Amino acid sequence: MDWRQLWEICSAPDNVPIVGLIPLLAFYIYLAWRQAHANDVLIAQLETDPALAKTHHRKTWPFKPGWQKEVHVWPFLLRIEFLAAIIVTIVLMVWSITLNAPLEEPANPNLTMNPAKAPWYFLGLQEMLVYFDPWIAGVVMPTLIIVGLMAIPYIDTNPLGSGYYTWKQRKFSISTFLFGFIILWVAMIIIGTFIRGPGWQWFWPGQTWDHNRLIYEVNRDLPDIFGITSNVAKAIFGGIVVIGYYLLGGFLVYSLFRRYMGKDFKRMSLLQFSIVQFFLLTMVALPLKMALRLLWHIKYVWITPWFNV
């Protein structure tokens, strides 16, 4: 266990935000979960008691008849905003006094940094470079993330859970978002920050960064395993696998939706549903491809003269 190495990584000034992000995320997930749970308990109670549902104010916070439903922004909101501004300023001041912004040697194109890392918030995408070619990891994926995020309001047809925390009314959408945000985005950033060392090789936390380490990995392509050698056959085979993944996966999503989320399925148009299918399968494809690479050393699935997937 190399504590010094671990400390060097964790205390690198630009890694501090990620070290801070982890407890922050844990705290806010806890805060959201606590309220979601309370709301779910209330919902269950109201579902079984229609008479109460008609009279109840439907929030977990206390409310009595005669209380004002609205409060003045001044002072009740502005004092919170003022306080928040002061706290943020104090945190920022203390942070800026105690920790200096990083400044390395002057830029030198002839001296490559090893590892050369992108800013921490893009490390998830850089980690994807291990498993995908740059045109997918660097261009297609960011585009899909942006487009996918923008599509969310138009493909989530569930009218429940608007304006309050809940888990039971939105199990699918919340678990999908958590998967995307926590696993595919934050966890990849953590891997890129704390685990990837020189040569972008895998070093467990506490393992010394060995700049001379070489790993002889023989990566194969999926068609090789099936003994396919001709280029045309490889292209066709890969195409079948990728398209087959989307078709079979699409059918699986379809049957699961019909079975477990019949109401949501009914509300969706065909276009909405196929967009959900596409994004869901693409998201799931990332850990699948990672597993292929890390466990079975498979580099490409689909090889064509123009692009490789």
Partner 1 sequence: MADENNPNSTNGKNGGKVGLLEKVKAGVKEHIQGLKTDIPAKAKEQIEGLKDPTKTQVYTSIFRHKHDDTPRNRALGVLSNVFLHLHPAKINRDAVRYSYTWGMGGMTFYLFIVLTYTGVLLMFYYHPSKVQAFRDVLYLEHDVPFGKILRNMHRWAAHLMVIGVWLHMFRVFLTGSYKKPREFNWNIGVLLLVFTLLLSFTGYLLPDDQLGFWAVTVGTNMARATPLLGHEGPFGSMLGMTPYNDVRFGLLGGSIVDANALLRSYIWHCIGIPIVASILMIVHFWRVRKDGGISGPAPVMLEAEADKPRRGPKAAGE
3-state secondary structure (DSSP) of residue 308: strand
- How far is it, in rounded angstroms, from Cα 131 to Cα 133? 7
Q: Please answer whether residues 2 and 207 qualify as being in contact, where contact means their C-beta atoms are separated by less than 8 angstroms.
A: yes
- How many Å separate Cα 244 from the centre of its chain? 25
In whole angstroms, how close is the CB of 255 to partner 1 at the nearest point? 23
> For residue 136, how many other CB atoms are within 10 A of its CB?
17
In whole angstroms, how close is the CB of 73 to partner 1 at the nearest point? 4
Phi-psi sector, 141: left (phi>0), alpha (psi -120 to 50), beta: alpha
In whole angstroms, how close is the CB of 248 to partner 1 at the nearest point? 25
- How many Å separate Cα 112 from the centre of its chain? 30
Cβ proximity to partner 1, 249 vs 289, nearer residue:
289
Instruction: Name the maximum alpha-carbon separation found in the chain.
Output: 80
Which residues lie closer than 8 Å to 3 by C-beta, 6 or more apart? 206
3-state secondary structure (DSSP) of residue 306: coil
Q: Which residues of 197-212 are buried (b: 16+ CB within 10 A; e: fewer)?
A: bebbbebeeeeebeee
Task: Give me the count of residues in the chain.
Answer: 309
In whole angstroms, how close is the CB of 5 to partner 1 at the nearest point? 19
In whole angstroms, how close is the CB of 299 to partner 1 at the nearest point? 16
In whole angstroms, how close is the CB of 296 to partner 1 at the nearest point? 25
Cβ proximity to partner 1, 57 vs 297, nearer residue:
57
Residue with tokens 């040697």: 105
Cβ proximity to partner 1, 116 vs 270, nearer residue:
116
3-state secondary structure (DSSP) of residue 53: helix
Residue with tokens 């597993």: 291
Cβ proximity to partner 1, 250 vs 265, nearer residue:
265
Kind and range of the H or E element at 92? Answer: helix 78-98
Cβ proximity to partner 1, 45 vs 204, nearer residue:
45
Cβ proximity to partner 1, 75 vs 244, nearer residue:
75
In whole angstroms, how close is the CB of 295 to partner 1 at the nearest point? 26
Cβ proximity to partner 1, 3 vs 259, nearer residue:
259
Cβ proximity to partner 1, 231 vs 296, nearer residue:
231
In whole angstroms, how close is the CB of 274 to partner 1 at the nearest point? 19
- How far is it, in rounded angstroms, from Cα 278 to Cα 255? 15
- How far is it, in rounded angstroms, from Cα 121 to Cα 113? 19
